[in-house]
Structure 1
Amino acid sequence: MGSSSGTIVHARTRTPRHVLLRYLSFTLFVRVMICCAVLVGLMEVLALLEQTTPILQRHLGIQGLMLYVGLRLPFLLSNTLPFAVLIGTLVMLTQMTLSSETAILRAAGLSTLGFYLRLAPITLVLGFMGVVLDDQIAPRSELALAVWWNRTNPTPENGRAFWFRDANQIVHVSYAADGGERLGPVDIYTRDREGRLTGTLHAGSAEHTPAGPWILHDVSRLSVRNLMVQALPPQDTITWPISLPPTELIRLAADRPPISSRLMFARLLGHMPSNDTPAYLKAGLLERLLHPVSLLVLLLIAMPVLYIPPRTGSRSWLPVWCLGSGLLFIVTQGLFRAMGNAGLLPPLMAVLPGLIIFTLGTLSVLLRNETL
């Protein structure tokens, strides 16, 4: 009887905690998803205002518009998730505070730390969802969108030129067409281990064959040895020994598209051609790894709304200050990341300072409110 009564008492004391955890988690998740839907909807409308005319000019019709919206959705979701977590948390905690739910829970013994610890698990779940979006879903959807957009382009020769590195070669491609199956004029610069130029190759075009290899057409070459330049005989066609599929060339042609962690590691190790600097890749890996932590910081920034005075009610400016602080945190992280991309800061300094500064600042505000 003693052990069974102890089990009953333990179950009674444990159940309310689980009920409160489920309630807060479900409420926050719903608020964040609603905010995500609103923000993504607004961004999709703005994107369609810009892209509707080109899509209709290519005679892609309503199906093309729907395809564009669907392929763009994962990227927009991953970008709006931090804003949705911030706004959703502020809305939920403000509603709970104004409806006296917070006061009731505090009277029952729940502290600010207790609120945070019960909201942290669902925030981590949202953070890992964001990592999956950034690392697996968004890169594939953006690549599919870029391939479709390139394949339906009636004037690919007006497309964007791009550079990339492949082992000891630097390659310049004037444009890509037919979903990456055909390339415009290609220039290849070969270097030795010390980085000195050893040869150049110019091809009028390049074509990907169904069998796999690339074929360069109308080839002219120069050889550089001991500061002496020698023109080699021109050739109609030669094989280009590069293992890149057409879709990867479309990815290289895009302006900083989202890429997976696997591809980042491959580019860092030199196993895949790259048009990104090592600093950009390292900072991107760290940012992706710490994405759940950044959402926890946004959750912490929203916690001061629990201290809205009862008499102030909806006239309080505290939610506005918390929203501004959260937006400032996101902007600051972006500025640090931009400096890291430019090589002005090491990768760790491009990711960690914002997290530390805003965590300490918010903790000081919470401790001050606790002592008042």
Structure 2
Amino acid sequence: MQFDFFPSRTLTLYLAKMFVTRILAVLVMLVLVLMMLDLLSTSGDILAAPGNGQGELLTYVGLRLPQLIARFLPYSVLLATLIMLVGLNQNSEVIAMKAAGLSAHQVLAPLFLTAGLIALMSFAFNERVVTRANATLKAWETVEFGPVPAASDVRANVFVNDGRNVLTAGAVAGTGAAMAMREVTWYGRTPDGMIVEQVRAPRATFASPGWRLEDARRFTVQDAGARDVPELVVGEGITPENIELAQVDPDTLSFWDLSEAIDRYEDAGRRTSELRARWWHKLSGPLAALLMPLLGSVAAFGLARSGQLFFRALVGMALGFAYFVVDNAALAMGNFGGYPPFLAAWAPFLLFVLIGETVLIRTEE
């Protein structure tokens, strides 16, 4: 028996290249199919905006593709693992490797190495590409696919209180005194919470103090009348700092930016368990790619002629998809405060590492 964790250099490169090609093939297939279906359902809304055409459709594709790649990369690793290992089993290559003295873990070692590199690239891709695409796309959807927001720090669907009154904005861009809002709505309310007026405006800027609504339309409940107001200042108790703390979307922030946002929330005495769970998940999420070869390894071993190969492949697929279900459920529990943030992000990964190792050792080692 060989005692090195990795097999020979030739065998390691052979398995790694085979694994990478299958991951890419499955990922391209999934992303292209899902992108076409998504574009078919969304293209009508995009083209409905005045002035939009083929260029805006391509812009949407460019913003949506990173989301699909990030979401379905772990699934691609799982399916590529099953396709590859079933093929190796059917061609008796796994039997040849075990006859040469390799253990099950040594057979899977090149897959773990490749999946680990993919997990690192996935983390970097999420940080540098996906978060920015999420921020721009959400802001673009908020303005119903109108002019594409140029700011990179756009936040969508902001809601903030000014005492009993409420200010909402479809999109907010900029920081400090240069902050500007789009699709703004101001609700004036009585002390008992009844709305007495509503003001809508396409744009608002910081008036220091308050927010200057431009080209607004004001509706008052008392006389059920509406009239145009060229300019109106509201929300004098709301500062740009309040806006920045009003909503933090973890999907649009990088790991380090989200860490800073959590610190600001804690300094302000705000609840941070949901953000902290998503912060931990930015680390544990990409590691799902590292877990897939272990969960799918049950398809690699056992005699193909025994008639159980298809069943083993189904078991590997079931384990992989069960992980995604448990991971989403745990993260939801963390968002509601049912689990501590660290447990919500890491418990599914650690649980399925133990399950995968137990299945592998009990059946093959």
Within 1, Cα distance between the matches of 2:114 and 2:187? 51
Shift of 1:262: 2.1
Matched with 2:81 is 89
- Alignment CA distance shift 1:31-1:63 (3 Å): same
Asked if the contact 1:36/1:81 (under 8 Å) is kept, the reply is yes
Matched letter for residue 354 of structure 1: P
Matched with 1:106 is 98
Farther off after superposition, 203-212 or 286-295: 203-212
Asked if the contact 1:208/1:215 (under 8 Å) is kept, the reply is yes
Q: Which of 359, 363, 371 is the equivalent residue of 2:357?
A: 363
SS of the residue corresponding to residue 270 of structure 1 reads helix
Matched with 1:68 is 60
- Alignment CA distance shift 1:169-1:359 (3 Å): farther
SS of the residue corresponding to residue 184 of structure 1 reads strand
Matched with 1:39 is 30
Shift of 1:337: 0.7
Within 1, Cα distance between the matches of 2:76 and 2:167? 39
Matching of residue 312 in structure 1 with residue 300 in structure 2: no
Matched with 1:224 is none
Matched with 1:122 is 114
- Alignment CA distance shift 1:40-1:172 (3 Å): farther
Shift of 1:322: 0.6
Asked if the contact 1:280/1:342 (under 8 Å) is kept, the reply is yes
Matching of residue 52 in structure 1 with residue 43 in structure 2: yes
Within 2, Cα distance between the matches of 1:64 and 1:206? 21
Write out aligned runs for 1:264-279 (5 A).
264-270=258-264, 278-279=272-273
Asked if the contact 1:29/1:122 (under 8 Å) is kept, the reply is yes
Asked if the contact 1:161/1:253 (under 8 Å) is kept, the reply is no
Q: Which of 342, 348, 352 is the equivalent residue of 1:354?
A: 348
- Alignment CA distance shift 1:187-1:20 (3 Å): farther
Matched with 2:186 is 186
Shift of 1:14: 12
Asked if the contact 2:302/2:309 (under 8 Å) is kept, the reply is no
Matched letter for residue 42 of structure 2: Q
SS of the residue corresponding to residue 120 of structure 1 reads helix
Within 1, Cα distance between the matches of 2:113 and 2:68? 24
Matched letter for residue 55 of structure 1: I
SS of the residue corresponding to residue 308 of structure 1 reads coil
Within 2, Cα distance between the matches of 1:14 and 1:100? 21
Within 2, Cα distance between the matches of 1:340 and 1:65? 36
Shift of 1:242: 3.6
Structure 2 portions without partners, runs of 5+ = 147-155, 174-179, 190-196, 217-230
Asked if the contact 2:142/2:171 (under 8 Å) is kept, the reply is yes
How many residue pairs align between the two structures? 323
Farther off after superposition, 260-269 or 92-101: 260-269
Matched with 2:177 is none
Within 1, Cα distance between the matches of 2:338 and 2:5? 51
Asked if the contact 1:283/1:350 (under 8 Å) is kept, the reply is yes
Write out aligned runs for 1:289-304 (5 A).
289-304=283-298
- Alignment CA distance shift 1:245-1:55 (3 Å): farther
Farther off after superposition, 47-56 or 141-150: 141-150
Matched with 1:143 is 135
Shift of 1:361: 2.0
- Alignment CA distance shift 1:236-1:335 (3 Å): closer
Matched with 2:151 is none
SS of the residue corresponding to residue 84 of structure 1 reads helix
Shift of 1:91: 0.8
Farther off after superposition, 296-305 or 75-84: 296-305
Within 1, Cα distance between the matches of 2:315 and 2:116? 24
- 1:268-327 Cα deviation digits (max 9, x unpaired): 1117999x9511211112112223433222221111112131313686311011101110
Structure of greater Rg: 1
Within 2, Cα distance between the matches of 1:15 and 1:321? 26
Matched with 2:279 is 285
Shift of 1:253: 9.4
- Alignment CA distance shift 1:77-1:93 (3 Å): same
Q: Which of 255, 259, 263 is the equivalent residue of 2:253?
A: 259
SS of the residue corresponding to residue 343 of structure 1 reads coil
Within 1, Cα distance between the matches of 2:234 and 2:186? 13
- 1:223-260 Cα deviation digits (max 9, x unpaired): xxxxxxxxxxxx953796744799x79x9597x74421
Percent identity, aligned pairs only?
Answer: 23
Asked if the contact 2:97/2:107 (under 8 Å) is kept, the reply is no
- 1:57-102 Cα deviation digits (max 9, x unpaired): 1241222211111111111111001101110111111111111111
Matched letter for residue 344 of structure 2: A
Within 2, Cα distance between the matches of 1:291 and 1:22? 26
Query: TM-score when scaled to structure 1?
Result: 0.73
